[in-house]
Amino acid sequence: MITERVDFLVIGSGVAGLRAAFEAAEAGQVFVITKDTLKESSTEYAQGGVAVALCDEDTIGIHFEDTIKAGDGLCVDEAVRTLVNEGPERIMELISWGAEFDKSDSRLIFTLEAAHSRRRILHAHGDSTGKEIERVLIKKAMSMPQIKKYSFAYFLDLIVIDGQCHGAYMLRDGQVTAVLAGATILATGGAGQVFSRTTNPLVATGDGLAAAYRAGAVMSDMEFVQFHPTSLYASGAPQFLISEALRGEGAVIRNIHKERFMGLYHPDAELATRDVVARAIVSEMVRTKSHHVYLDITHLDKEFIKTRFPMIYKTCLKYDIDITTELIPVSPAAHYMMGGVRTDIDGRTTIKGLFAAGEVACTGVHGANRLASNSLLEGLVFGARAGKTAVNEWDATKDMGPELRLNIAEQGRIENPDEVRSTIRRVMWEKAGIIRSAESLNEALEVFTSLRHVTELTYLSRYENEIKNILQTAELIVKSALERKTSIGAHYRSD
């Protein structure tokens, strides 16, 4: 086994990981490992924008209240206060690094999204905000010689001995490497691939969540999975996110009979919180015996639609849907983890030397339901804080020593891996999705128990390790959902 040593190890190259790496690079050498290309993360696919109280009609206090309200009473006040207070500074910092948010003349343009009481959503190139932020962060990372990037390096497991994290194992070119680090920052993103319908990229397989759990970290709120109400539902098309910003600009939702129905489910109609809209769509699909509903933006000016939502317009056109003249078939899909590895507001986990930020972490900032467009801000704010804390608590003189015991689980193969993966994802969608019950959750648990052998080995292929992590993350979600016997936010129990 190859062994490498570094001051700081950052696992993940999305907004939280890169922002943390910048802080760590001020103090020492940083390795950023990512299992695909540097830019392949959920950050790149974030369309709607980033929420921040910078508009004249907005205040930090109003952003705080909107976030608390969306979280359905379960937000951690200190985390939300940190997010909204430090958010403006992080965004202005991005702009100083070259981020090009959309403007009218010289003034930033702010738009509205569901559950926001003010226009506070910044966007870039219409509907490519995440891609623009990722571009700026990668460019800055490339300019910092202290940061070394490892692409196509698969994160296997954390190295934890006697309650302290000493780095991680990674799999690269078929070879296992132990990367020993003075401080390790987990920023691996979410786990949308646990479900058969998801807006998340293929890399979102819960690797950091499962590995942290195996290492003994405390996990929180794993039952709170946000389902985005509107992902594209078309033959041969991917489950492409149709941004909430369309509804913010006036799009309406219609059932299979072309009738508006959201007003029957909530007074805020299309601008209700995501959990409410997703459940209303599911209820309407059941009532009308259909597999989708429609998003209608045809009443808006054609040129405005093309300019405001260029990526959505072009993507739908590839599947013969002209959103300026036709209704968009949509249905809900798994989108974001509100729960994760428990941390404080400075990124500390319950394992010494291990920090976490972004979607893999749970500070309590989202409560039971994330306010739209708070995720990119979360990555920036808490990524920076985790990086700073790692620097402050890093002991540069500490010698990990050659006697460090390095071992990973026995290696093996998964029989019929495609079938196992498909089974887990289908069961999660059908039994532990938008609407759950003790009966359905226990049925899911039975299936996962029969597959438990998959989690007992380590594999020398990324694909098989991802299946292992999908299974362990799925089981964590189901067990947490069984424990919370009331319905709140994104966790809805029909019983």
Each residue's pLDDT tens digit, 403-424: 555 566 678 899 999 999 999 9
The confidence score (pLDDT) of residue 399 equals: 60
Strands 458-459 and 411-412: parallel
Q: What pLDDT, on a 0 to 100 scale, did the predictor assign at position 235? A: 83
**pLDDT class of 243 with cuts at 50, 70, 90:** confident
b/e for 466-493, b at 16 or more Cβ within 10 A?
A: bbbbbbbbbbbbbbbbbebeebbbbbbb
Which residues pair with residue 226 across a beta bridge?
336
Rounded-to-integer distance, Cα 38 and Cα 173, Å: 17
Task: Quote the Cα angle for 479-481-482, to 5°.
Answer: 65
Q: What is the pLDDT of residues 90-143, one digit of tens each?
A: 999 999 999 999 998 889 999 888 889 999 999 998 777 888 999 999 999 999
Which residue is it, tokens 């392949």?
A: 40
Tokens of 82: 């940190």
The CA distance from 483 to 495, in Å, is: 13
Interatomic CA distance for residues 203 and 34, integer angstroms: 10
**Known catalytic membership, residue 484:** no
Asked whether the predicted pLDDT for residue 41 surpasses 70, the reply is no
Greater pLDDT, 404 or 174 = 174
Question: Mean of the pLDDT values across residues 207-228?
Answer: 97
Single-letter amino acid code for the residue at 62: I
What is the mean predicted confidence (pLDDT) over 392-406?
65
Q: Say how many C-beta atoms besides its own lie within 10 A of residue 346's C-beta.
A: 17
Stretch 143-162: mean pLDDT? 94
Q: Give the mean pLDDT of 48-74.
A: 94
Q: Is the dihedral of CA 141, 147, 150, 155 positive or negative?
A: negative
CATH 1.20.58.100 assigned to domain 411-483? The reply is: yes
Is the predicted pLDDT of residue 79 greater than 60, yes or no?
Answer: yes
**Region 322-339 average pLDDT:** 96
pTM above 0.95, yes or no: no
Segment 15-20 shows an average pLDDT of 97
Q: With 0-12 CB in 10 A as exposed, 13-18 as middle and 19+ as buried, what is 446?
A: exposed
The third-level CATH classification (topology) of the domain covering 229-332 is Flavocytochrome C3; Chain A, domain 1 (3.90.700)
- 137-146, 177-186, 392-401, 408-417: range with lowest mean pLDDT: 392-401
Residue of higher predicted confidence among 398 and 371: 371
pLDDT number for residue 396: 67
Where are the domains positioned within the chain?
2-223+338-393, 229-332, 411-483
pLDDT interval class at 173 (50, 70, 90): confident
Strands 107-108 and 103-104: antiparallel
pLDDT category of residue 164 using cuts at 50, 70 and 90: very high
Q: How far apart are the first and last CA of the chain?
A: 51
- Rg (the chain; Cα; Å): 22
- What is the second-level CATH architecture of the domain 2-223+338-393? 3-Layer(bba) Sandwich (3.50)
User: Which pair of tokens denotes residue 183?
Assistant: 């401080």
Q: Are 26 and 391 in contact (CB under 8 A)?
A: yes
CA 434 – CA 402 distance, rounded (Å): 49
Provide the pLDDT for residue 339. 97
Model pLDDT, residue 402: 47
Lowest mean pLDDT among 20-24, 33-37, 153-157: 33-37
From the candidates 81, 197, 274, 421, give the one annotated as an active-site residue: 274
